[in-house]
């Protein structure tokens, strides 16, 4: 009886161990889930969205693995990201915190806001005002915003929103160093991104974690927790389930 019990315990431990190994491999090499905790990427990503990020799109660095072990210095199977990609990266400030932003500047590019317009290499990014009204969060407030469809040099289109009052009009010129990238949040006036050199700044190629591919679940945290099932009719955003991110 004791032998059978011991055998059962050992087999269960083996099963759990193998399951953990498989989970770590999938998470490190293929897809990793992430939760969106802030409004910096609204209206593209909302607080409460849960997304899958592909780890193989840009190749692998030490940050592809749990706890960022110093296994190697350069990226393996490196592939270049593209303008407009939704990228998860480790913030340069601590090489630990995960951020997701939109890639706006490549190595060697210059970026600047001038009279409220976004300039890339001295050329204004084309933008078309969207007639739709957007309800955007910024901390505990919901400022009035204007939405624009912006088009990057590779044809990538997305919606960015700017405050109707108090939006950032002018900045210094940002010159992206070699092997670094420049990121912005789509919620332009409520995003800590590469404009803030002391906290985020330019992001090293090594710090790229992966590309956001899919929203697999979404829950409005203001309307209720995922555990308050009696509020699911108000909190679950069914229309966002399994939404592809382009």
User: Which residues are designated catalytic?
Assistant: 40, 101
For residue 101, cis peptide bond before it (omega within 30 degrees of 0): no
> Residue 179: CB partners within 8 Å, gap ≥ 6?
107, 204, 205
Task: Show contacts of 117-124: CB within 8 Å, 24+ apart.
Answer: 118/150, 118/184, 120/152, 120/153
Listed in order, strand segments (DSSP E) in the chain are 31-35, 49-54, 86-90, 98-105, 110-114, 117-120, 123-124, 127-130, 145-151, 157-163, 174-175, 180-184, 203-204, 208-218, 243-244
């Amino acid at each position: 009886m004791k032998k059978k019990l011991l055998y059962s315990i050992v087999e269960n431990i083996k099963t759990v161990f193998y399951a953990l190994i498989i989970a770590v491999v999938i998470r490190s090499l293929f897809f990793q889930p992430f939760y969106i905790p802030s409004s910096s990427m609204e209206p593209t990503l909302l607080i409460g969205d849960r997304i899958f990020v592909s780890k193989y799109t840009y190749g692998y660095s030490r940050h592809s693995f749990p706890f960022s072990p110093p296994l190697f210095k350069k990226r393996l199977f490196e592939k270049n990201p593209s303008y407009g990609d939704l990228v998860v990266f480790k913030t340069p400030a601590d090489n630990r915190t995960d951020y997701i932003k939109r890639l706006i500047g490549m190595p060697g590019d210059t970026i600047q806001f001038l009279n409220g317009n976004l300039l890339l290499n001295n050329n204004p990014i084309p933008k078309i005002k969207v007639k739709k009204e957007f309800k955007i969060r910024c901390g505990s407030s919901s400022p009035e915003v204007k939405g624009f469809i912006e088009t990057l040099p590779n044809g990538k289109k997305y919606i960015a929103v700017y405050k109707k009052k108090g939006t950032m009009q002018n900045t210094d010129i940002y010159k992206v160093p070699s092997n670094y990238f420049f990121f912005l949040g789509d919620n332009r006036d409520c995003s800590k991104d590469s404009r803030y050199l002391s906290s985020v700044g330019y992001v090293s190629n090594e710090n790229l974690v992966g590309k956001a591919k899919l929203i697999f679940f979404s829950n409005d945290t203001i309307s209720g927790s995922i555990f308050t099932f009696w509020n699911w009719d108000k909190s679950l955003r069914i229309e966002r389930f399994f939404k592809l991110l382009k």
